[in-house]
Amino acid sequence: MTAKDVVRTEAAPAPFQGAPYSQAIKAGAFVFVSGQLALEPGHTELQGGSIQEQTEQVFANLRAILEEAGSSLEHLVKTTVFLQNLDDFQGMNEVYTRHVGDRPPARSTVEVARLPSGALVEIEAVALLSDS
């Protein structure tokens, strides 16, 4: 592995129209996943109108990228959750809890003024590579 390897999968949305970022980067024993929205690959409209539906799609994207990188949701060590409205915390957390298992990663959750495409939630993640 080189010092910095780009991760790319068709099973998760591509970066926005030529934006200068990667879905994820593998570096050392870690994979750093860019913030994911509730977009399906090849679509430009958000999937789901509720915080729970959007959070499910975000985790589908995170899972696909992590698996492409040689990791998994079970190897998450840190996430950052961006919510358009902290009133959605409980609904997001219900879905989040199902996906992170009994040894959840460290996490920060913040309310932001606005997310791309009018999303309710965006999650970025850091995980260990499975063979680490």
> In the chain, where are the structural domains located?
5-128
Domain 5-128 part of CATH 3.30.1330.40: yes
Q: Residue 43's pLDDT is what?
A: 85
- Tell me what the mean pLDDT of segment 38-64 comes to: 94
pLDDT reading at 16 higher than 80: no
pLDDT reading at 131 higher than 80: no
Burial 65-92 (b: 16+ CB within 10 A, else e): bbbbbbbbbebbeebebbbbeeebeebb
Q: Residue 2's pLDDT is what?
A: 59
Q: Residue 7's pLDDT is what?
A: 96
